[in-house]
């Protein structure tokens, strides 16, 4: 056996012993030690509130419900302050876009190869590099009818490295190779992604100068000044090119309803829908008083630059797009988005103005120090190319929760809709609790004929069918009162018709409490009946009220959502979770646009579930014996 050596104990020095002795003395003198209590003694010292809180914390589902409800409240009430909403704004071009936020994440390869051109659709962009390659990024639009392909799946035989022109429309894009091969990808319901025979024949005798794409329309401008337009032109007549323009066109741009062209004599022409604001061209741009050297268009307006460097703007006044901001410098280029205009100055600075619903005016910080040589802006995305070839993107990044049928952001509407739905449910429950407390306390405490009268009133209210009454009143006031008063009416209806159940419960418990010794003692001491009810009996049943309020709040929330879903609650454009679900009544929405009903539906479920979890946990915490049974 091996001999194990036992270590000798370490001897403390005299100074160390003295230090510990003095430290222990001062600790006893100045620091009060906690009394060590037994488990029974510790529970005896706890208040009922502390006991309920500890029991509640032990319930994991209840804690999860509290956390979830706090997050929902922050999402709706804080989010509505950080993300304002314009209820009247609609953008039909962006209707029914899939969830996604990668519209501006361009591939790094376009920087390496050098950008020749960038063109954007509603949710995607396409770039042509100096090496003749094409790259596409963003989100795939949805098509419900007509022939279509993906905007990202290039067809077989696509001649990368040999592409000369590209142009992106709203939900499609086209390309033309150096040898005249035409490619069309995306929505093709009006044959806008196919090259017509007339254009094919023309390409045999003249080279292509410009390729155009717009909202369902495509065009080719040839070097000899002749233009061909095809696609969705029945209502806009954009394919009806005036004879006096053919053979004289230098540059062309699509708008939503028109085509704007620059002629060889430096004047501007417009054709398509007549009589609108865009067709009212300033006289100096048509009579030869000034020579136009460049122009660009937005959805319903145009911006032109003459030979003297002066800007001319006309068309729709929406989004203050006709208000040119002040700037210093010479304009070298023009560009325009769906609702915006911009200019590039000789010092490399970019000036942009117009709408800002999709962060079109939110320039990245890098743009303040870089010098740009070209800018490409279409729809709601913009790209600026710097001298070193780097690309800066800004504008619409995408819809995190998709868009609805009017092109509105579902995330923003979900945030503000939650604020309204949660508020309606809360106010309705407050009204309900106040009525229930009054009826239940008075009926249970006094009894007799007053009890019989109040309970018969309760029976009458219970017999009133809530949903038909709410629908009837809502139909009567529709269009006659402002939307805010309509919301108030929903709160009042929910509150006045939901109190009978809680009132009966309070009365039943009050009948038990009023016979207990502490109530008899209060009466013997001459305490007023009002004080007995409020100060002595009510605290003993208040836990019951809290539990039922939480459970009733979930019911009020679901009832508001049901009313709005049926079209009799909060009416659009004011958002609520219920009226966001209204679109789920369409089989097309259920089949193709899942985000329009799944996301608000989950919001309602999570909110109601979190409140129910809190209510169940409170009930178990206040009555632990009930959960043991």
What CATH number has the domain bearing residue 523? Answer: 1.10.3720.10
279 lies in some domain = no
- Grade residue 11 by pLDDT with cuts at 50, 70 and 90: low
How much is the CA Rg of the chain, to the nearest whole Å? Answer: 36
Question: Is the same domain home to 69 and 193?
Answer: no
348 lies in some domain = no
- Grade residue 78 by pLDDT with cuts at 50, 70 and 90: very high
CB-based burial of residue 462 (10 Å sphere; 0-12 exposed, 13-18 middle, 19+ buried)? Answer: middle
State percent of the chain over pLDDT 90: 41
Question: Is the same domain home to 503 and 568?
Answer: yes
- Measured CA to CA, the distance from residue 115 to residue 374 in angstroms comes to 9
- Measured CA to CA, the distance from residue 554 to residue 614 in angstroms comes to 10
- Measured CA to CA, the distance from residue 384 to residue 371 in angstroms comes to 9
**Rounded mean pLDDT, 533-537:** 79
Its sign, for the CA torsion 487, 493, 495, 501, is negative
Distance, first Cα to last Cα, the chain: 62
Please name the residues in contact with 326: beta carbons below 8 A apart, sequence gap of 6 or more: none
**Rounded mean pLDDT, 249-263:** 94
CB-based burial of residue 44 (10 Å sphere; 0-12 exposed, 13-18 middle, 19+ buried)? Answer: exposed
Domains in the chain, number: 2
| Range with the poorest average pLDDT among 287-296, 304-313, 471-480, 599-608 | 471-480
3-state SS string for 402-413: CECCCCCEHHHH
Q: Which of 189, 156, 188, 161 lies closest to 174, judged by CA?
A: 188
250 lies in some domain = no
Please give the distance of CA 192 from its chain centroid, rounded to a whole number: 32
- Taking 80 as the threshold, does the pLDDT of residue 96 lie above it? yes
Question: Is the same domain home to 475 and 565?
Answer: yes
- Measured CA to CA, the distance from residue 170 to residue 63 in angstroms comes to 48
- Measured CA to CA, the distance from residue 470 to residue 617 in angstroms comes to 32
Question: Is the same domain home to 68 and 116?
Answer: no
Question: Is the same domain home to 71 and 116?
Answer: no
| Range with the poorest average pLDDT among 34-48, 70-84, 334-348, 471-485 | 34-48
Answer with the one of 195, 217, 232 that is the final residue of a domain. Answer: 232
Q: Which pLDDT score is estimated for 629? A: 46
**Rounded mean pLDDT, 273-281:** 91
- Measured CA to CA, the distance from residue 501 to residue 506 in angstroms comes to 9
Q: Give, in order, the Cα–Cα distances in Å from 394 to each of 85, 314, 326, 342, 365.
A: 21, 25, 22, 13, 11
Question: Is the same domain home to 437 and 533?
Answer: yes
Its sign, for the CA torsion 190, 196, 202, 207, is positive
Residue 38: CB atoms within 10 A of its CB come to: 8
Question: Is the same domain home to 147 and 69?
Answer: no
Domain boundaries, position 619: 50-82+411-628
- Measured CA to CA, the distance from residue 367 to residue 57 in angstroms comes to 52
- Grade residue 70 by pLDDT with cuts at 50, 70 and 90: very high
Which tokens go with 435? 């009525």
Please name the residues in contact with 253: beta carbons below 8 A apart, sequence gap of 6 or more: 212, 259, 260, 261, 295, 296, 297, 302
**3-state SS, residue 509:** helix
CB-based burial of residue 23 (10 Å sphere; 0-12 exposed, 13-18 middle, 19+ buried)? Answer: exposed
Question: Is the same domain home to 119 and 227?
Answer: yes
Answer with the one of 232, 263, 288 that is the final residue of a domain. Answer: 232
Complete DSSP assignment for 93-144 = GGTTPPSB--TT---THHHHH-EEEEEE-SSEEEEEETTS-EEEEE-PPP--
141-159 burial, b for 16+ CB within 10 Å, e for fewer? Answer: bbbeeeebbebeebeeeeb
Torsions phi, psi for 566 (to 5 deg):
-80, -5
CB-based burial of residue 166 (10 Å sphere; 0-12 exposed, 13-18 middle, 19+ buried)? Answer: buried
282-312 burial, b for 16+ CB within 10 Å, e for fewer? Answer: eebbeeeebebbbbbbbbbbbbbbbeeeeeb
What pairing do the DSSP bridges indicate for beta strands 350-354 and 340-345?
antiparallel
Average pLDDT, the chain: 85
> Could you tell me the pTM of the whole model?
0.80
Q: Which of 354, 334, 376, 359 lies closest to 167, judged by CA?
A: 376
Which comes out higher in pLDDT, residue 535 or 75? Answer: 75
8 Å CB contact between 595 and 584? no
Per 3-state DSSP, the chain is made up of helix, strand and coil in percentages (nearest 5) of 45, 20, 35
- Grade residue 1 by pLDDT with cuts at 50, 70 and 90: very low
Torsions phi, psi for 87 (to 5 deg):
-65, -25
- Taking 60 as the threshold, does the pLDDT of residue 344 lie above it? yes
- Measured CA to CA, the distance from residue 335 to residue 344 in angstroms comes to 8
7 lies in some domain = no
3-state SS string for 163-184: EEEEEECCCEEEEEECCCCEEE
544 lies in some domain = yes
Question: Is the same domain home to 492 and 536?
Answer: yes
Q: What is the DSSP letter of 253?
A: E
What number of helices (H) and strands (E) belong to the chain?
Answer: 19, 21
Question: Is the same domain home to 612 and 490?
Answer: yes
Question: Is the same domain home to 192 and 217?
Answer: yes
Place of tokens 């040839």: 222
530 lies in some domain = yes
Question: Is the same domain home to 469 and 538?
Answer: yes
CA angle 46, 49, 50 (to 5 degrees): 45
340 lies in some domain = no
What pairing do the DSSP bridges indicate for beta strands 340-345 and 331-336?
antiparallel
What CA dihedral angle connects 416, 417, 420 and 421, to 10 degrees? -150
Residue 176 maps to which CATH number?
2.130.10.30
8 Å CB contact between 180 and 162? no
375 lies in some domain = no
- Grade residue 257 by pLDDT with cuts at 50, 70 and 90: very high
Answer with the one of 232, 265, 291 that is the final residue of a domain. Answer: 232
Q: What is the DSSP letter of 9?
A: P
**Rounded mean pLDDT, 303-309:** 93
Place of tokens 């409140």: 611
Place of tokens 């809360």: 426
- Bridge partners (DSSP) of residue 572 are none
| Range with the poorest average pLDDT among 4-13, 303-312, 469-478, 558-567 | 4-13
Q: Which pLDDT score is estimated for 35? A: 55
């Amino acid at each position: 056996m091996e001999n194990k050596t036992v270590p000798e104990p370490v001897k403390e020095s005299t100074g160390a012993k003295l230090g510990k002795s003095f430290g222990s003395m001062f600790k006893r003198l100045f620091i009060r030690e906690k009394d060590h209590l037994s488990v029974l003694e510790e529970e005896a010292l706890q208040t009922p509130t502390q006991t309920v809180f500890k029991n509640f914390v032990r319930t994991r589902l209840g804690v999860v419900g509290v956390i979830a409800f706090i997050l929902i409240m922050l999402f709706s009430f804080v989010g509505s302050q950080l993300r304002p909403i314009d209820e009247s704004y609609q953008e039909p071009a962006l209707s029914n876009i899939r969830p996604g936020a990668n519209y501006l994440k361009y591939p790094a390869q376009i920087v390496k190869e050098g950008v020749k051109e960038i063109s954007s659709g509603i949710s995607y962009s396409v770039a042509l590099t100096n090496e003749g390659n094409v790259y596409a990024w963003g989100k795939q639009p949805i098509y419900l009818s007509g022939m279509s392909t993906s905007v990202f799946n290039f067809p077989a035989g696509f001649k990368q490295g040999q592409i000369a022109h590209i142009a992106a429309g709203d939900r499609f894009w086209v390309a033309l190779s150096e040898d005249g091969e035409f490619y069309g990808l995306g929505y093709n319901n009006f044959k806008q992604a196919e090259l017509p025979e007339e254009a094919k024949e023309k390409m045999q005798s003249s080279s292509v100068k410009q390729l155009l794409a717009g909202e369902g329309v495509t065009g080719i401008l040839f070097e000899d000044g002749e233009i061909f337009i095809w696609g969705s032109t029945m209502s806009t007549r954009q394919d009806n090119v005036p004879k006096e323009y053919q053979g004289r066109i230098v540059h062309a741009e699509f708008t939503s309803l028109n085509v704007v062209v620059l002629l060889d004599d430096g004047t501007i022409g417009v054709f398509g829908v007549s009589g609108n604001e865009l067709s009212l061209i300033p006289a100096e741009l048509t009579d030869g008083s000034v020579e136009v050297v460049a122009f660009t268009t937005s959805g319903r307006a145009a911006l032109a630059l003459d030979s003297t460097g002066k800007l001319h703007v006309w068309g729709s006044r929406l989004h203050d797009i006709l208000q040119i901001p002040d700037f210093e410098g010479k304009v070298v280029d023009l560009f325009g988005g769906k609702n915006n205009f911009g200019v590039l100055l000789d010092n490399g600075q970019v000036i942009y103005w117009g709408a800002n619903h999709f962060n079109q005016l939110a320039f990245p910080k890098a743009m303040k120090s870089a010098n740009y040589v070209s800018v490409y802006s279409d729809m709601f995305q913009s790209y600026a190319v710097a001298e070193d070839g780097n690309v800066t993107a800004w504008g619409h990044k995408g819809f995190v929760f998709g868009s609805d049928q009017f092109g509105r952001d579902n995330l923003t509407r979900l945030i503000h809709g939650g604020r309204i739905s949660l508020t309606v449910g809360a106010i309705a429950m407050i009204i309900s609790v106040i009525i229930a407390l009054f009826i239940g306390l008075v009926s249970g405490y006094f009894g007799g004929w007053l009890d019989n009268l109040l309970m018969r009133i309760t029976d009458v209210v219970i017999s009133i069918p809530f949903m038909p009454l709410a629908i009837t009143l809502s139909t009567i006031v529709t269009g006659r009162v402002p939307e805010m008063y309509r919301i108030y009416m929903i709160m009042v209806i929910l509150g006045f018709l939901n109190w009978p159940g809680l009132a009966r419960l309070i009365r039943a418990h009050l009948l038990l409490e009023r016979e207990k010794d502490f109530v008899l003692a209060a009466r013997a001491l001459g305490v007023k009946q009002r004080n007995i009810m409020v100060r002595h009996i009510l605290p003993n049943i208040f836990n019951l009220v809290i539990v039922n309020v939480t459970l009733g709040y979930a019911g009020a929330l679901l009832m508001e959502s049901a009313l709005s879903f049926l079209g009799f609650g909060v009416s659009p454009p004011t958002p609520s979770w219920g009226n966001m679900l209204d679109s789920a009544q369409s089989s097309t929405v259920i089949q193709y646009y899942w985000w329009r009903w799944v996301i608000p539906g989950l919001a309602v479920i999570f909110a109601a579930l979190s409140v129910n979890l809190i209510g169940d946990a409170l009930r178990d915490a206040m009555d632990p014996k009930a959960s043991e049974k």
